[in-house]
Amino acid sequence: MIEATLCFPLRNRSDDGTDEVLLIEKRRGLGEGWYNGPGGKRETGETFRECAARETREEVGLEVEPAALEKAGELTFLLDGEGHTNCHVYRTRSFTGEPTASDEARPEWVSVDEVPYDQMWDDDSRWLPGVLEGRTVRGEFRFAGGEPLDEAAFVDHDLEWDVSLESGRDGSP
């Protein structure tokens, strides 16, 4: 199973108080052309928090402290009945730097009320609104139709809200 992370930096705009999330438009790889949070696959020896912080730095140039990430979700994506990817989701209001485009990603601050779910993975509209409201979620999402995952069809899902994520299923927070 692939172990991956997503990170959703949040800010409150000082002029009108709008709550915004930093999304990326993914320029290559899985989910190319869609909006998502910064994130990616975990490397050997990394914790999930370290992975989320590294991917955020590499993709959009924001510095986040692994310890300042708040665990918001654990999502499992299944493809044709088999576990494909475990995704650990974080959010944070604590970061430094200005978002900068990279080869992999074009960053964009978006109002949390105007997230472009029609240009994202099909499952995101089921769980991301709650995550952006500050809730925690554990979910299983079933896809069918073979590799790659981003060309498979989203079939159905199960969600559990307001769960304790103090410790992940593998024991790593």
Ligand X SMILES: Nc1nc2c([nH]c(=O)n2[C@H]2C[C@H](O)[C@@H](COP(=O)(O)OP(=O)(O)OP(=O)(O)O)O2)c(=O)[nH]1
Binding-site ranges for ligand X (CB under 6 A): 4-6, 29-31, 36, 39-41, 77, 85, 87, 121, 123-124, 149
Complex with ligand X: residue 11 or 41, whichever CB lies closer: 41
Burial track 122-142 (b if 16+ CB lie within 10 A, e otherwise):
bbbebbbebbbeeebbbbebb
> Whose CB is nearest to ligand X?
29
CB of 17 to ligand X, least distance (A): 26
State yes or no: cis peptide before 173, omega within 30 of 0.
no
> Residue 112: CB partners within 8 Å, gap ≥ 6?
10, 19, 20, 21, 132, 133
Complex with ligand X: residue 14 or 144, whichever CB lies closer: 144
Distance CA 16, CA 115 (A): 18
CB of 16 to ligand X, least distance (A): 27
CB of 15 to ligand X, least distance (A): 29
CB of 14 to ligand X, least distance (A): 28
Complex with ligand X: residue 20 or 42, whichever CB lies closer: 42
Bridge partners (DSSP) of residue 86 are 3, 76
Complex with ligand X: residue 16 or 21, whichever CB lies closer: 21
